[in-house]
Structure 1
């Protein structure tokens, strides 16, 4: 599982990744500010460059097999990480996190995700080493996950009010008001939790759920735990900067989830085929390997890159994709406006309402009947109606 990777290499790798995270905190996040587009673009490019450079070194030192497996894993995990940003956007909007403090929330999410996925990586390694049926289970998990991605979104889902948050608000002293980026503050002479801590709990909870899908997926690419760990770690590095770089473009990637569903389904089938090809179950073909087709690493890499390219390009150029992204933008701002508890002041709420109106205006360039049908299908029309009614009450 660790294929020619010494303990010293592991230690150096962990120190480098830890050093990059520490650098990110002390030089960018510690002082609250909103990154400029230029800053986000430069540092996003640097982190992607470091990931590619690491892959090239691994290719040269470890051979073509390790290099191809790493790039497969990195591209897959990067795509899944970008998909995670959609949920982060909803959580951050629901808690109305001040723009300057969003960096700290995102960095916490990245660090927690790294720890959660590292735990699942080594748990997955132990399962694969000790149970011959592991790949069958991983494959089924990925196929089910792919189906869940294709299922319609349920109206009323609200990541900001999940079970953990409800428990925290019920049994712990909390406040609905921010105090800069502090996790605790003093209110009425008592020490209380701020929404900043609650939003971190919400993001931490989603990180665990994402890890449950992410780790079986990358083990479908390679069973080398060093490659699994480094590909996962480098895919998360720079995700904070990427958030600010493509913040306004996230709604345009409307077909990304379909691409991810295809990829996860493909990897799930690939895992099951490989399990059948190395069959060890006595009750299947008398314990003999089955003569089934398996995908080589180069074919798998081509399929992953090809599907992601098609879905991203389709999201950007498709008229339906453009209309759906505009509808999603309207819905996101209406959702943020309706979550009234954590707004710092009325001007903050008004900003979300104004953005909702601006997004509605952008829908006028599309056919009215198609816009109305899509608004009803996504539930955006109901959220907008609620936001308008609430705004009318507050301005009377």
Structure 2
């Protein structure tokens, strides 16, 4: 996917999300509308850091760009299913044990600090525990077989490296969801708002990935914006313990400013 095509498709998905946001605003009121917008912006901004991880995975295993599209498509469908389970389970837990939001706040703040101060180092994804477990379950071919996830060799079913990449990406998305979903809980715990904003953000990720793959050197400071967003949402959740609340509108403004500043800083320092 060329950068221009990826940009057009990403803008299309964002436009569709805005249309849905307007409908929610008109039908259900201003607060649910702002909550959807806040959840969407949080999910999309935090997703950027995860997309760079996907780029590193594909690069490490020398996966051709033409095969990456299929892996990302299946990865998105997997993320939609996993988010459904995580979000509704998470909301049920939060509604039963409200104090867990304060724990979420603490871990989100720590996650932000980790991103902020961690040094960038080369990662050997081939040494991943997930891949080692997969190789024990099913034999894996050394070579790619087009876009196939499975092939038969001498009557024995083998997985191709493309399937291992898909499993690695899905497992990383599970870890990512542990940050992004609690972050959205700082805006709302309405499961329908959380899930719908998540899904619309996820649907645009494939196009955003190919755009970032072409322009990744221009957005090297985005991760710091992601770190500050995580820290802000963590603080917002934690201070609720002391009866201090930050409105959805203020949260939206803070998150949008952090995101815009990190983008502008990246562009100016390229």
Q: Per the alignment, do residues 185 and 87 of structure 1 end up closer, same or farther by CA in structure 2, a change over 3 Å counting?
A: same
Contact 1:255/1:312 (CA < 8 Å) preserved in 2? yes
Q: CA deviation at 1:262?
A: 1.1
Shift of residue 260 of structure 1? 1.3
Distance 1:222 1:73 in 2: 8
1:313 maps onto 2:267 in alignment:
no
Q: 2:97 is matched with which residue?
A: 131
2:192 to 218, 226, 230: 226
Give the Å deviation of 1:152: 2.0
Match of 2:172 in 1: 206
Deviates more, 1:198-207 or 1:154-163: 154-163
What is the distance in 2 between the residues matched to 1:247 and 1:156? 18
Q: Secondary structure at the match of 2:168?
A: helix
How far did 1:188 drift?
4.9
3-state SS, counterpart of residue 246 of structure 1: helix
CA RMSD for the aligned pairs?
A: 1.6
Counterparts of 1:196 and 1:179 in 2: how far apart (Å)? 9
After TM superposition, give the deviation of residue 41 of structure 1 in Å.
2.5
Offset of 1:171 from its aligned partner? 4.5
Aligned counterpart for 1:107 among listed residues 73, 90, 93: 73
* Other-structure match for 2:222: 256
* Alpha-carbon spacing, 1:156–1:99, altered in 2? closer, same or farther (3 Å): closer
The aligned residue for residue 161 of structure 1 is 127
Name the count of aligned residue pairs.
270
Q: What is the rounded CA distance, in whole Å, between the counterparts of 1:188 and 1:94 in structure 2?
A: 29
TM-score (norm 1): 0.65
CA distance in 2, matches of 1:61, 1:159: 47
Q: Distance in 2 between the 1:72 and 1:108 partners?
A: 26
* Structure 1 portions without partners, runs of 5+: 1-34, 278-292, 323-396
Which of 5, 8, 11 lines up with 1:45 in the alignment?
Answer: 11
Q: Which runs of 5+ in 2 are unaligned?
A: none
The reply on whether 1:97 has 2:76 as its aligned counterpart is no
Q: For the pair shown, which has the larger CA radius of gyration, 1 or 2?
A: 1
Q: How does 1:287-366 map to 2 (within 5 A)?
A: 293-318=244-269, 322=270
Residues 128 and 135 in structure 1, CA contact (< 8 A), matched pair in contact too: yes
Indicate whether 1:121 and 2:72 are aligned: no
SS in 2 for 1:212: helix
Larger RCO, structures 1/2 (Cα 8 Å, 6+ apart): 2
User: How far apart are the structure 2 equivalents of 1:182 and 1:274?
Assistant: 49
Provide the rounded CA distance (Å) in 2 between the counterparts of 1:117 and 1:124: 10
- The whole-number CA distance in structure 2 between the counterparts of 1:158 and 1:231 is 33
Q: CA shift at 1:206, angstroms?
A: 0.3
Residues of 2 paired with 1:238 and 1:171: CA distance? 33
Could you tell me whether the CA contact under 8 Å between 2:3 and 2:214 is conserved in 1? no
Question: Aligned with 1:55: secondary structure?
Answer: helix
2:27 to 50, 58, 61: 61
> Equivalents in 1 of 2:159, 2:208: separation in Å?
29
- CA distance in 1 between partners of 2:214 and 2:228 (Å): 25
The alignment status of 1:82 with 2:65, answered yes or no, reads no
Q: Which residue of 2 aligns with 1:361?
A: none
Taking structure 1 as reference, are residues 159 and 59 closer, same or farther at Cα in structure 2, changes over 3 Å only? farther
